[in-house]
Structure 1
Amino acid sequence: MQKFRWKTLNQEGQTITGEMYAGSQAEAGQKLLLTYPYVLELKPVFQWKLGLGRRRNLTDLERETLYRQLAILLEGGIPILRAVHVLGLGKSQKLQDLCQALEQDLQAGFSLSQTLQKHWQQAGSLAPKLVAAGEESGKVPETLQGLADFYGEQRENKKAVIQACMYPGLVFLLSLCIALYFAWAILPIFMDVYQLMRLEPTPLLVGVLNLRNLAAEYPPLVFLFLAGLGWCGTQLLQGKGGFWHKLPILASLYHDLWEVRYSRLLSLLLASGLTLDKALTAAGAILPEEKLRTVSRQLEQEVIAGMSLHGASENHPQFFGSLTREFIAIGEESGKLPEMLGEAAALMEKELRSRLKNLKTLLEPCLLLLLAGGSAALLYLVLSPMYTIMNRLPAQF
């Protein structure tokens, strides 16, 4: 959808301006002529004025707010078109743009799920499928409320992970800054002292000094190094490093985090009215690794073949934990599978946050000891040449 800025004349001869979304300039002109007799100006807003596409995506908090408020308005009996218009009056420019585009599509006769599908990058890939199921079952407000809860809980999980990683990250950054400052400003002074005292520095100090001189002579290398370091950090945070989430302690936390998200989403999809096989397909799309997505597809195939979800999950114990499998069995026996999946996700989420908090508590003294050990090793490397001359002093006297 392209954004257009327009200027028209109404029947009283007054000039009216505004902005709208349309698939093409011709489509935008046809929409305007349905309301105004004369179109004076119609031009697209260039992409650089809109910002990069990724910047226009809504955050989890904005999506949670949008769907929760929309659910409240619909539960209050307000028509969908008016509800979307009201939400577009907020202060967030991204929400204003999205709601304006949704309103125009709704006026053109599209359903809410179809309009969300057209703007899935901003609205989220889950919203169209869930809302479509809610429209079929007549539970659109309940589905939107569940979608808002999903984004809210996902946001809280991200916050817990970030808080657990913040202290180690700050310690690592501080250590890196101290090491760089030492190599850049302090080490040359010591090397001059060693030269005056005719002391032989260690090979490690000589190598660090050579790197420092190389960086001083070719500054672009420093920027390339920092850019590469930032890129590697971004890849690791996005899970593309391929090894950090396979470490012994982190692997279990990583698996539990995605099991919570998968179980909660599967619960939400089933509660919205989707069949189990379709819910498994939609839930598997959020998984980050091909290995996990393959297991999800195998679960779907076994369910289609007539096996119960509990029976299929027993064939893949590495995918669902024992607690989740037990809740699945109870849910299938009682006919309350969505509720039981949600309960299992809630219990696992509490346990996951507790483990993250304990891990953070354990890491704090370990990192302090590591920082102290690194400082001691640095002092030893710097002062070790001094020991040579100090050992010679008694012999000279």
Structure 2
Amino acid sequence: MSTYRYRARDATGALRSGTLAADSEAAAAAQLIDSGASPLEIVEERAAGAGGLKLPAGLFQRKITTDDLILFSRQMYSITKAGVPIIQGLARLAESTPNPRFAAILHEISRDLEGGREISAAFARHPEVFDTLYVSMLRVGEMTGEIERAFQSLYQYLANDKVVANRIKTAMRYPIFVIVAIGIAIGVLTVLVIPAFAKVFASTNLALPLPTRIILGISDFANRNWPAILAAIGAGVFAFRRWTATEAGRLAWDRARLKIPKVGSVLLRATLARFTRALGIALAAGVPITHALVSVARASGNAHIAAKIVAMRTGVERGDSLLRTAGQAGVFTPVVLQMIAVGEETGQLDAMMLEVADFYDREVEYDVANLSAIIEPVLTVVVGVMVLVLALGVFLPMWDLTQLAGRR
């Protein structure tokens, strides 16, 4: 029996952590679920004084991707709709899946079902693959006898969620590419181009203007210390990634991303599209709203907004309306708040949330397609400043040298 360190959210949505003893990671997850908690992270602790290097299990195994879950959910929908026993269907999928790690999990779920465990409980033993939203919808499908509909809804949600996630990546990829390209251009000019001019200036007794002296000083510093500069950049990137991997760092970075000019508004709408679609599908499947809020919080993909969504559950449990708690969260747009109000008045909150998701999906798709037109003015200004600096610092002295040569 091993010791596992865990992080989980209890029935109130509060975060808790600690250690527990279990035979496996799946058994540890089952203990947490049986106690009413939703596991977020489970890590096995190394024994004190253990010698040698212990590699994490599955280090060299292929990761289970969203594409794997999309294909699995679609196949399970077809299998359950056709009336094939779910245990038999899981065994067949485990044999046909190209991902060995996923195949092992499906075999374990099949064995749990053969042992009499409920479907949702068997899936819940693998929180690293099937999140709380996935398990909650399966649990409702079990209770209503419509497990095939649950898999269909999950397939549709995951497929749409992947599209939105790809749009978010595209929205961030273009500005990052522009920044990196400008950085490389500045580096080439500083290390290769400007030193060539410096040799020309050094061969004359011409008094150099202040901008030129500054540029030459920076170039000389970069040429003498470029290994240290590259090491500092690498260390900075590594430190940033480690910081964003922590809960506080991820929360701060996700909050800051939403404030980036132009790009932040695209990220906010994409995040709200993911949240409203997940909430709409969960409510349509029959998941209680208090459970749905906690389940879909992680589906938003933004730690800052997820924290606000989890906090909304407390207000709803106190008897406040969803509209009031959403307004107090301070992260939702007027469109979302208006559709929540209409949904609560008409009793069609699930349909309204799906309508908002479709609306924002179209907006984000348009914005991402035209992202270059949004960033081009900024890029033009940056390039213009670079040209101005070069003109003042490099070409003006060259002009003076040309004038001096003409006089001779």
With structure 1 as the length reference, what TM-score do the two structures score? 0.75
CA offsets 1:348-382 (integer angstroms, 9 cap, x no match): 22123223333432323542553354245335422
CA offsets 1:323-346 (integer angstroms, 9 cap, x no match): 333333333344332222212211
| 1:205 has 2:206 as partner | no
Deviation at 1:289, TM superposition (A): 6.4
The equivalences for 1:232-381 within 5 A come to 232=240, 240-241=252-253, 242-286=255-299, 292-293=305-306, 295-297=308-310, 299-313=312-326, 315-316=327-328, 318-364=330-376, 366-368=378-380, 370-371=382-383, 373-381=385-393
Structure 1 residues 91 and 293: alpha-carbon distance in aligned structure 2, compared to 1, 3 A threshold: closer
Q: Does the aligned pair in 2 maintain the 1:68–1:144 contact within 8 Å?
A: yes
Secondary structure class of the residue paired with 2:83: coil
Aligned residues: 352
Q: Does the aligned pair in 1 maintain the 2:62–2:100 contact within 8 Å?
A: no
Work out the CA distance in 2 between the residues paired with 1:259 and 1:151. 15
What letter matches 1:348 in structure 2?
A: Y
What letter matches 2:278 in structure 1?
A: L
Which of 185, 193, 214 matches 2:224? 214
Which of 201, 226, 233 matches 1:225? 233
Secondary structure class of the residue paired with 2:202: helix
Query: 1:383 aligns to what?
Result: 395
Work out the CA distance in 2 between the residues paired with 1:90 and 1:275. 33
Q: Structure 2 stretches of 5 or more lacking a match?
A: 3-21, 28-53
Which of 154, 164, 167 matches 2:171? 164
**What's the Cα RMSD here?**
3.4
Structure 1 residues 369 and 338: alpha-carbon distance in aligned structure 2, compared to 1, 3 A threshold: same
Secondary structure class of the residue paired with 1:122: coil
Query: 2:75 aligns to what?
Result: 69
Secondary structure class of the residue paired with 1:51: coil
Structure 1 residues 244 and 300: alpha-carbon distance in aligned structure 2, compared to 1, 3 A threshold: closer
CA offsets 1:282-340 (integer angstroms, 9 cap, x no match): 23354566764564355433433334434544x43834433333333333344332222
CA offsets 1:160-217 (integer angstroms, 9 cap, x no match): 233334443333322222222222223322222221123455232233223223325x
Q: Does the aligned pair in 1 maintain the 2:73–2:152 contact within 8 Å?
A: yes
Q: Does the aligned pair in 2 maintain the 1:245–1:254 contact within 8 Å?
A: yes
Work out the CA distance in 1 between the residues paired with 2:394 and 2:237. 26
| 1:50 has 2:63 as partner | no
Work out the CA distance in 1 between the residues paired with 2:378 and 2:308. 37
The equivalences for 1:101-116 within 5 A come to 101-116=108-123
Q: Does the aligned pair in 1 maintain the 2:298–2:306 contact within 8 Å?
A: yes
Deviation at 1:138, TM superposition (A): 2.1
Work out the CA distance in 2 between the residues paired with 1:393 and 1:320. 66
Percent identity between matched residues is: 20
Which of 83, 93, 98 matches 2:89? 83
Q: Does the aligned pair in 2 maintain the 1:139–1:272 contact within 8 Å?
A: no
Work out the CA distance in 2 between the residues paired with 1:48 and 1:118. 19
Secondary structure class of the residue paired with 1:170: helix
- Bigger radius of gyration among the two: 1
Deviation at 1:51, TM superposition (A): 0.8
Work out the CA distance in 2 between the residues paired with 1:100 and 1:304. 39
Work out the CA distance in 2 between the residues paired with 1:171 and 1:285. 30
Which of 152, 167, 188 matches 1:145? 152
What letter matches 1:128 in structure 2?
A: V
Work out the CA distance in 1 between the residues paired with 2:274 and 2:237. 30
What letter matches 1:357 in structure 2?
A: A
Secondary structure class of the residue paired with 2:293: helix
CA offsets 1:26-71 (integer angstroms, 9 cap, x no match): x9xxxxxxxxxxxxxxxxxx8457217xx75422222212212112
Query: 1:134 aligns to what?
Result: 141
CA offsets 1:79-119 (integer angstroms, 9 cap, x no match): 11111122221223343233233233333332222222221
Structure 1 residues 118 and 220: alpha-carbon distance in aligned structure 2, compared to 1, 3 A threshold: farther
Q: Does the aligned pair in 2 maintain the 1:167–1:364 contact within 8 Å?
A: no
What letter matches 2:295 in structure 1?
A: A
Work out the CA distance in 2 between the residues paired with 1:234 and 1:384. 45
